[in-house]
């Protein structure tokens, strides 16, 4: 049994902090972007598609904004709506946490739709590429959830159970790690092999 004692802050320098969760977003976007471009380049070289890969670089700006706005608005609407109605200035306090996968998903779909209309390229072409690399961000995000002691699971007596002292002293399944492996690693392998 593991007693969780990981610090969600990688380091802080006076008022400036670097958190594992923010690094998960940053590296998820950068690695996903890099692999997505590799996928597109391979498709172009194999003459499967005709596409200027530089257009995908422009899409990343839309994706970043969509992730941040969608994730935050999703959290506000789905999880804590009445709190934020009463405390509207807290909406902008993203350093206190509060992002939603559902909101990110909706935001990315809407942002991609708007971009595809602007450049007049099929919407599903972009979504197929994004779907292939999304498990990278999901993997890193779930690892960050584990580090932050959030999204913990039900109690367990398995030897690999984790005690999250910030939550309680009950051994629990490390569901974040299960999801990182299944939704991150396994899903990425399946999608890349099919695409």
In this predicted structure, what is the pLDDT of residue 14?
82
In this predicted structure, what is the pLDDT of residue 27?
97
In this predicted structure, what is the pLDDT of residue 78?
93
In this predicted structure, what is the pLDDT of residue 82?
95
Beta-carbon contacts of residue 171 (< 8 Å; ≥ 6 apart): 1, 155, 156, 157, 158, 161, 162, 163
Per-residue pLDDT of the chain (195 residues; tens, 9 = 90+): 899 999 999 998 887 889 999 999 999 999 999 999 999 999 888 887 888 888 999 999 999 999 999 999 999 999 989 999 999 999 998 877 789 999 999 999 999 999 999 999 999 999 999 999 999 999 999 999 999 999 889 999 999 999 999 999 999 999 999 999 999 999 999 999 987
Q: Return the domain boundaries, the chain.
A: 1-46+132-195, 52-120
pTM (predicted TM-score): 0.89
How would you write the chain as a 3-class SS string?
A: CEECCCCCEEEEECCEEEEHHHHHHHHHHHHHHHHHHHHHHHHHHCCCCCCCHHHHHHHHHHHHHHHHHHHHHHHHHHHCHHHHHHCHHHHHCHHHCCCCHHHHHHHHHHHHHHHHHHHCCCHHHHHHHHHHHHHHHHHHHHHHHHHCCCCCCCECCCCCCEECCCCCCCEECCHHHHHHHHHHHHHHHHHHHHC
């Amino acid at each position: 049994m593991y007693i969780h004692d990981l610090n969600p802050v990688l380091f802080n320098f006076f008022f400036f902090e670097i958190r594992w969760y923010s690094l998960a977003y940053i590296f998820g976007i950068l690695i996903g972007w890099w692999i997505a471009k590799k996928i597109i380049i391979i498709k172009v070289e194999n003459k499967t598609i005709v596409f200027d890969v530089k257009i995908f670089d422009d899409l990343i700006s839309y994706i970043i904004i969509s992730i941040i706005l969608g994730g935050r608005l999703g959290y506000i609407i789905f999880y804590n709506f009445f709190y934020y109605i009463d405390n509207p200035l807290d909406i902008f306090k993203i350093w206190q946490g509060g992002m939603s996968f559902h909101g990110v998903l909706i935001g990315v779909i809407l942002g991609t739709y708007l971009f595809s209309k602007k450049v007049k390229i099929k919407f599903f072409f972009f979504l197929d590429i994004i779907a292939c690399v999304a498990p990278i961000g999901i993997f890193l995000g779930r690892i960050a959830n584990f580090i932050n002691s959030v999204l913990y699971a039900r109690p367990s007596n398995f030897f690999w159970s984790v005690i999250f002292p910030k939550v309680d002293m009950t051994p629990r399944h490390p569901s974040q790690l299960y999801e990182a492996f299944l939704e991150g690693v396994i899903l990425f392998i399946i999608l890349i092999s099919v695409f």
